[in-house]
Amino acid sequence: MSLLELRNLTHVYSRGTPFEKVAIDHLDLDIGAGETLGLIGHTGSGKSTLISHLNALLKPTEGTVLFSGEDIYSSKAAMRHARFRVGVVFQYPEYQLFEETVYADIAYGPKNQRLSQQEIDRRVREAAAFVGLSEDQFNRSPLELSGGQKRRAAIAGVLAMEPEVLVLDEPTAGLDPAGREDLLEKLFAWKDASGGTIILVTHDMSIANRCERLVVLESGRIVLDGPPEIVFAASEQLRGSGLDLPAAAHIAGLLRRAGVDLPAAIYTVDQLADAILSLRGKGGRPC
């Protein structure tokens, strides 16, 4: 049994009006415990609608979501439970900070979980340490933090609920390359330490190629599902879905088309460099 099972999940917005839109279309997806899954697709492909079902923020029009085999929509208690077990960090979460202090903002989730004061305190400190937010920031207003610190505070607020699944929608958008790298490292470190599951929604192929599994959405359906080397091999289909290839996969494709004999599964700069150097080692490409 998978940790999360999406069964025939369908979501229709504005049903019965001229604006009716099928955002998720009879979709089945199993997500195992401990997976690092990248969810990719262009704007409007259904990514955000999909993740809003993982913690019962949206109710499906048809189908359902199972968490450890239990239907998360079966009762109010089940929905509430799902909300704590699946932590969702939406795009630009720094706009969702609202408490008077950084500490209170991070404590908001665990407080709603009705934990003891002592447990809340432990979790706030641990979550803040995880995202690299120092305790001398705790009494400041979240609005006084820099952009990067705000994003960390918002993510800490979700981590403090100690979810089993962490879902992040474009967590690195607007960060500079060093900030991007730093945040990703922290997220992967959280996963290693907690044994949790990560679902990353992203357009950035350099982030996508660090996931173990990629699911490509188009018009509310899954069009590709597999490890990066399989998904990035389907370059035509990705471009058709409005997505980019990682630069290394793109260059490898151009070289193959020019007659250079490269292996199929290339999507990182290191893989491509090794493949080119091994050809050179053989004295160049056989004619």
Partner 1 sequence: MDPIIRIKNLTYTYPDAPGPALDGVSLDVAPGTFVAVLGSNGSGKSTLAKHLNAILLPQSGKVLVDGMDTIDEGSLLPIRRKVGMVFQNPDNQIVANVVEDDVAFALENLGVEPREIRRRVDEALKQVGMYDFRLHAPHLLSGGQKQRVAIAGVLAMGPEVLVLDEPTAMLDPRGRREVVGTVERLCREKGITVLLITHHMDEAVRADRVLIMDHGHIVMDGTPAEVFARADELRALSLTVPDTTALIEKLNAAGMHLPLSALTPEACAAAIKEALS
Subset of residues 192 to 251 that bind partner 1, contact rule: CB under 8 A: 203, 205-206, 242-244, 246-248, 250-251
Q: Does the protein bind partner 1 through residue 44 (CB under 8 A)?
A: yes
The token pair at 211 is: 């996931």
Q: Dihedral of CA 23/242/174/149: which sign? A: positive
The residue ranges of DSSP E strands in 1-56, in sequence order, are 4-13, 21-31, 36-40
Q: Does the protein bind partner 1 through residue 15 (CB under 8 A)?
A: no
The token pair at 3 is: 């940790």
Q: Which of 62, 176, 185, 192 binds partner 1 (CB under 8 A)?
A: 176
Residue 117 C-beta: closest distance to partner 1, Å: 34
3-state secondary structure of 97: coil
Gap between the terminal Cα atoms of the chain = 51
The residue ranges of DSSP E strands in 53-148, in sequence order, are 62-67, 70-71, 86-89
Residue 211 C-beta: closest distance to partner 1, Å: 17
Residue 274 C-beta: closest distance to partner 1, Å: 9
Q: Does the protein bind partner 1 through residue 118 (CB under 8 A)?
A: no
| Distance, C-alpha 246 to centroid of its chain | 17
Q: Which is nearer to partner 1, 33 or 260 (CB)?
A: 260
Interface mask toward partner 1 for 132-151; x: CB under 8 A: --------------xxx---
8 Å CB contact between 244 and 235:
no
Q: Does the protein bind partner 1 through residue 270 (CB under 8 A)?
A: yes
Q: Which is nearer to partner 1, 193 or 273 (CB)?
A: 273
Q: Does the protein bind partner 1 through residue 260 (CB under 8 A)?
A: yes
Separation of alpha carbons 2 and 67, rounded Å: 8
Residue 279 C-beta: closest distance to partner 1, Å: 6
Other beta carbons less than 10 A from residue 238's beta carbon = 22
8 Å CB contact between 83 and 56:
yes
Q: Which is nearer to partner 1, 111 or 186 (CB)?
A: 186
> Strands 197-201 and 165-169, how do they pair?
parallel
Q: Which is nearer to partner 1, 1 or 178 (CB)?
A: 178
Interface with partner 1 (CB under 8 A): 42-44, 91, 146-148, 173-179, 203, 205-206, 242-244, 246-248, 250-251, 254-255, 258-260, 269-270, 272-273, 276-277, 279-280, 284-285
